[in-house]
Amino acid sequence: MKKKILIIVLILAVVLYVISGIKASKEPKVALIKVEDSIMGYMDTVESIAKAQKDESIKAVVIIVDSPGGAVGASQEIYRSIEKLREKKPVVVSMGNVAASGGYYISAPANVIYANPGTITGSIGVIIQQVDLSEILSKVGVKVNTVKSGENKDILYPTKPLTPEQRKILEETVKDVYEQFLDAIVKYRKIDKEKLRQYADGRVFSGRQAREIGLVDKLGNVQDAIREAKMLAKIPEDAPVIEITPPKSVLDEFLKSKLGIDQNFVKTGIYYMMEF
């Protein structure tokens, strides 16, 4: 008899646990997504944003940005994902130590941007670099033979200097991407494009300076951003907050913790040329 009672109690406990879990999963909540370090890879962040978008219990998202920038394509992928997210739910960005260049780019489409007064942000611009090793190679007697399909196929290779024509091609490309950067900002920020251009020369700003210009909406920390997100979503102040974190591979953890190397950088290597 005691054994049967114990089994019944255990079954009831399991049922109550499952019910409470289901109830908790449906409870309105805010999700946190972190974007840290250089923006090279983007799939983890894009997948986290997609997960937050699909989860109906998540009513608002706070994106914590602590990044000095990174690859143009990766930044644009994340930017577009945040655009799609804000069509469904409020998005608030909380800037940490630094949210510059690509870090600012991905912040622009948020409904509200928070920065600490001392956050380093801005650095609006585009850069592309080429390392010319041709003189060194010549001095050590190394000759590189190149077979290419077109005159500019090796435009950024380190084995040869840029020609004036190639420099002009790159300058035009940089200018085009720069205009894309400005357009991406003014689409969501209350700042005139020509006024923005005055500040968009690569300089950085403190969070307080950025607010005065119109690049940032409010000053505050992540708790302030969470409070704002709950208010925009019209959910209780005590609504739970969860963090969405992508799974990390063993290799990724080893490279980052033991060697201090970002796996995305290893994957990208020398093929990464243009950055915000």
DSSP letters for 195-222: HHHHH-SS-EEEHHHHHHHTS-SEE--H
Catalytic residue among 26, 84, 148, 153: 153
Alpha carbon distance, N-terminus to C-terminus of the chain = 72
Closest of 260, 242, 248 to residue 51, by C-alpha: 242
**Cβ neighbours of residue 98 closer than 8 Å, sequence gap 6 or more:** 66, 67, 68, 119, 120, 121
The pTM of the whole model exceeds 0.95: no
Has residue 196 got a pLDDT over 90? Answer: yes
39 strand-pairing partners: 70
Cα-to-chain-centroid distance, residue 48: 11
Specify the pLDDT at position 12: 64
Domains of the chain and any CATH numbers: 28-275 (3.90.226.10)
Specify the pLDDT at position 155: 87
Place 268 in a pLDDT band, splitting at 50, 70 and 90.
very low
Rounded average pLDDT over 222-244:
96
Place 212 in a pLDDT band, splitting at 50, 70 and 90.
very high
Q: If DSSP codes are grouped into helix, strand and coil, which group holds residue 263?
A: helix
**pLDDT tens sequence across 13-48:** 555 554 544 444 679 999 999 999 999 889 999 999
| Cα 186 to Cα 109: distance, rounded to the nearest angstrom | 9
Quote the mean pLDDT of the chain: 86
Catalytic, 206? Answer no
Per-residue CA distances from 257 to 69, 254, 265, 269 (Å): 21, 5, 14, 19
Catalytic residue among 48, 81, 94, 101: 101
Catalytic, 123? Answer no
Per-residue CA distances from 19 to 55, 59, 107, 242, 262 (Å): 18, 21, 38, 19, 41
Rounded average pLDDT over 111-135:
93
